[in-house]
Structure 1
């Protein structure tokens, strides 16, 4: 490895699995000290033991105090924070908008949008003080085009891209870059759950790709590491789409979710009732 992130401190939310785990691994390989933030304590602790100089911080990103505490933990351990990766996510509410409950809607945005806001806010406070840093958020092709995801998910991902641009406009003069990555259909544990098996997830990702190859978490991690590195020092307020060309091809995959009975995929923050109307 080239050690593009040598001795830098990175905090990755949703780091226990999927894109987050792949990003944490690659950042560690590139020389970073990584703080892994997640609600899955078992998997998060296991990954922390696997990586060089990594630590785990239990973090529900829908709770501002817990995001702030994760940032404080990085500062306590390393004295600085160079990169914040707002990655934590799930599918959340799905089904017809006619049947989506307010509770499911708000629970979805609590993780996918509020969590990103909290991450940007508290990371930026630390980075402005030190005069440098980069903040990265994981959006989605559902945030670039309509019809590529469930309604609440799509709304949140559009908002993440807008927040990336607006936060970058404020923070750039203070030495902090803010960017996003918009993955296409990626073979993660969440997708395996939705499709029923890993092979079914791989097959679906392959079909969704104009290149005919499945998109893997490591490839999204590579994009995030690029944006975190000095190679991207003049890249700011940008959303890097990594989707094999799906958004240009005009694929529309949202019907997979819209035509199902209303439901919720992922952990409901605080034990909320997704069926509450």
Structure 2
């Protein structure tokens, strides 16, 4: 089905998702969170600079906690998406619908929070490779009407969250670190966690304090990413974007 979003079935589904905070119409007069950031005249100013073709061309959906009925409706409306939801594989959690270019970008996190980007129509991996020129031809087309670079911002924030959350998850918990500091060092002057034995090198007090500092920085990065996504999806369980497959 073409990405026109004008059939009664599509529009009813759109309104249902929007009410539940699962879909955002980015360049819309009704996207209040963006209006709060850019002001009441932001669309008019874009009209004057670029013309009105960009309006309502970009939808973003977060797929966390969709009902089976909603997922079935999605597949009925956009059958090509089924290829991204194979049992036993990591599934997309964010969908970008570009109604102007007829593209659906499927984005999610997999093993060790590594991100993946697929085009729904071709099922091809479209994430830029290391040191590849950005935007790639695929994204150059996708970004053409995205005058405020919202998609790029959301992808960058997702990457920041993914990396920070994985690094944060690899560290001991704050409770463990504070408990270790409170108990003091062993006879050799080193601190060791409960899972470490005397053959392990152990940690100095300075190293433990650095862990706490690193955790605080990583938490700030994650919170910044969360704040960005919550603008569009106020009911989103943001940290569930990570599949926890470490």
Q: Normalising to structure 1: TM-score of the pair?
A: 0.28
The structure with the largest alpha-carbon Rg is 2
Q: Normalising to structure 2: TM-score of the pair?
A: 0.30
